Amino acid sequence: MTRKTSLAANLDWPTILLYILLVAAGWTCIYATGHEEQHARLLDLSREHGKQLAWILAAFLLAFLTLLFDAKFFAAFSIPVYAAAILLLLAVLLVGKEVNASRSWIEIGALRVQPSEFSKFATALALASVASRHNFKVMRLPNLLLLGLLLLLPATLIKLQNDTGSAIVYSAFILVLFREGLHGAILLLCFMAILLFVLSIVYPPLTVAAIIIAATLLLACYYRQPRAALHYLLALLLLFLPLAILLPDAPPDRLLLLAHAACTLAALLLIYLRRVKRVAILLLLSWTCIAYTVSVDRIFQSLLPHQQDRINILLGVEQETRKTGYHVMQSKIAIGSGGLAGKGFLKGTQIKYNFVPAKSTDFIFCAVGEEWGFIGSAAVILLFMTLILRLIYLAERQRSHFSRVYGYCVACILFFHVAVNIGMTIGLVPVIGIPLPFFSYGGSSLWAFTILIFIFLRLDANRLQVFK
C-alpha cells in the first residue's frame, strides 16, 4: 500500500465533509448578501462572492498541501513557526495597513493578508509543543509563567494593532489547559475577574469597594471567624466616621479605602500575634480585588470609544440605537424577521437593502437567520457543534500528547469564534469584531481556519505515532 493510499485511508472524512458543508453554506450566505442581477456570475472577481469563491479554491489547495507534509514536521518545527508568526505581528506594527482603525493588515501586491489570523494555529502548535514535553506539569509556577508568556505575547502584539477582538480569542487557550491539568480554582478566579469587571463598569467605585469588603467579611464568617468579622466591621465604621469629618472634601470611596487600609494593618498585626492565617489571606485577597477594580477603569479607558460604547450598551449602562447599538438592533430585526423557516434564498430584505452593517463579515449570521429562519440557524449551529465535538473525539483518541493538545486547541478556538460571533448578532456579548469561521467574508480567516483544521487531520492520520 502506497503512502498516498495509506494517508487517504487514515484521514477522518466525516470532519472533511463537515468542513466542506460549512464552507459551502458560508459562500451561499456571502452570495446572498451581495446579490445583484447584473452581477450574478459565480466567479465575478469584482464582487465579494466571486473573490470568496477564489479564496475557497485556494483554501482547498492549502488543505491538500498541508496534508502532504509529514506529520512529524509540525511537532519538530512548531517553535520556529511560532517565532515566524511573532515576527509577522511585529512587522504589521511597522508596515501594516490601517483598516477600520486597526493596523492589522499587510499588503502584498493586490493581496491583503491579516497575520493575526495565522498566528492562532502557530500559537496552538507552540502550546502543544511546550505542554507535551516530558514530565511537564501545568500547575508548576515556572510552567504557568511560560504558558502565560506564550499566549500573552501574540495577544499583546495584536492588541497594539487595535484589534481587541482577535486578541481576546487567545483566552480560549485557557480551556485547553484545563484538559491538561489546570486547577479548577483558576476557572473560579476567571469568573470572579469577569464579575468584578462588570461591577466596576456598571456601579460607582464606592459600591464596588463595599461589595468586596462585605464579601470578605462573609467569607470570614464561612471560615468560622464571625467574631473577627464583626469586630472588623465595627472598627471600619468607627474609622470611617472620623475620616469623613476630618476630610469632608474627600470622595466616599477614598475614605472607605483609607478606613479599610487602617483596619487591615491593625488586623494583620493581631493575626500575626494569634497566627490566624485564613483571615490574613482573605484581607490580602480583598485588596487584590480592589486593586483589580481600579485597574479595570484604566483598561476600559484604553479601549477605543466605539468599543467602550458597545460594552456599556450590552451592560445597560447606555441606551443608544442610532450609532453603536444600531448594528445589534438591525441584526436582531433581521434574524427575527426570518421566523421559523426563513424568507427564502435571496429574499432577505434586511440584508438586501443594507439595513445590517458588516452583513458579509461580522454579522454574516444575520443572512442565515433571515433567509433560512430558525430551522436554518439551528442547522448551522448543529453543524458547528458536530464539528467541534468531532474534533474533541479525535483529540481524545490520539496516542501522541502533542496531537491531543493541538486538537483541543483547534476545538477551543472554533468554539470561541462561533459562540462569540453568534452571541454578537443576538446581543448576548459585546460586538468585538471576530469572524464566523467559514462564513465571514475574507481570505485570511478562511485560510487560517483551513490550515488549523487540516494540520490536525494530518496529525490524526498518524494517530498511532508519538511526536516529540
> What's the rounded Cα separation, in Å, for the pair 413 and 437?
10
pLDDT tens digits, 328-338: 788 888 888 88
Q: 177 by DSSP, 3-state: which?
A: helix
Beta carbons of 104 and 166 less than 8 angstroms apart: yes
Check pLDDT > 60 for residue 4: no
Does the model's pTM come out above 0.85? no
Check pLDDT > 60 for residue 324: no
So what's the pLDDT on residue 350?
Answer: 80
Beta-carbon contacts of residue 142 (< 8 Å; ≥ 6 apart) = none
So what's the pLDDT on residue 1?
Answer: 43
First to last CA, the chain: 26
Average pLDDT over residues 199-206: 71
Query: 203-213 burial, b if ≥16 CB within 10 A, otherwise e?
Result: eebeebbbbbb
Count of C-beta atoms within a 10 Å radius of residue 109: 5
> What's the rounded Cα separation, in Å, for the pair 405 and 450?
18
Residue spans of alpha helices (H) in 69-133: 71-76, 78-95, 115-131
So what's the pLDDT on residue 405?
Answer: 94
> What's the rounded Cα separation, in Å, for the pair 321 and 332?
12
Check pLDDT > 80 for residue 161: yes
For the chain, counts of helices (H) and of strands (E): 20, 3
Among 203-212, 343-352, 359-368, 436-445, the range with the most confident prediction by mean pLDDT is: 436-445
> What's the rounded Cα separation, in Å, for the pair 442 and 52?
7
Q: Is the sign of the CA dihedral 328, 334, 338, 339 positive or negative?
A: positive
So what's the pLDDT on residue 237?
Answer: 67
So what's the pLDDT on residue 214?
Answer: 73
Average pLDDT over residues 61-86: 92
Average pLDDT over residues 29-48: 75
Average pLDDT over residues 34-55: 76
The values of phi and psi at residue 364, to 5°, are -65, -25
Which of these, 319, 321, 351, lies nearest to 335 by C-alpha position?
Answer: 351
205: cell is 467605585
Q: 396 by DSSP, 3-state: which?
A: helix
Which of these, 437, 406, 423, lies nearest to 122 by C-alpha position?
Answer: 406
Q: What's the pLDDT band for 105 if we cut at 50, 70, 90?
A: confident
Place of cell 517553535: 79
Check pLDDT > 70 for residue 323: no
91: cell is 512587522
pLDDT tens digits, 204-237: 776 777 777 777 767 666 666 666 666 666 666 6
Between 88 and 112, the more confident residue is: 88
pLDDT tens digits, 121-140: 999 999 999 998 878 888 88
Average pLDDT over residues 49-74: 92
pLDDT tens digits, 411-435: 999 999 999 999 888 877 777 778 9
Beta carbons of 56 and 27 less than 8 angstroms apart: yes
Check pLDDT > 70 for residue 3: no
CA 371 from centroid of its chain's CA atoms: 28
So what's the pLDDT on residue 336?
Answer: 85
> What's the rounded Cα separation, in Å, for the pair 454 and 460?
9
* Residue 246: exposure state from Cβ atoms within 10 A (0-12, 13-18, ≥19): exposed
Beta-carbon contacts of residue 172 (< 8 Å; ≥ 6 apart) = 412, 413, 415, 416
Check pLDDT > 60 for residue 321: no
Region of residue 112 (left: phi > 0; alpha: psi -120 to 50; beta: else): beta
Beta-carbon contacts of residue 314 (< 8 Å; ≥ 6 apart) = 427, 429, 430
> What's the rounded Cα separation, in Å, for the pair 22 and 344?
19
pLDDT tens digits, 246-273: 666 666 666 666 666 766 666 666 555 4
385: cell is 457543534
Q: What's the pLDDT band for 442 if we cut at 50, 70, 90?
A: confident
Q: What's the pLDDT band for 381 if we cut at 50, 70, 90?
A: very high
Q: Where are the domains of the chain?
A: 11-184+319-461, 203-303
Q: 63 by DSSP, 3-state: which?
A: helix
Beta carbons of 88 and 55 less than 8 angstroms apart: no
440: cell is 465571514
5: cell is 493510499
So what's the pLDDT on residue 427?
Answer: 79
Average pLDDT, the chain: 80
Helices 205-222, 226-246: crossing angle, 10 deg rounding? 160
The values of phi and psi at residue 289, to 5°, are -65, -40
pLDDT tens digits, 83-94: 999 999 998 888
The two beta strands, 97-99 and 111-113, are unpaired
Beta carbons of 381 and 422 less than 8 angstroms apart: yes
Check pLDDT > 60 for residue 468: no
> What's the rounded Cα separation, in Å, for the pair 413 and 248?
52
Average pLDDT over residues 288-296: 73
Share above pLDDT 90 across residues of the chain, in percent, rounded to a whole number: 30
Half-sphere exposure of 7 (CA within 13 A, CB side): 15
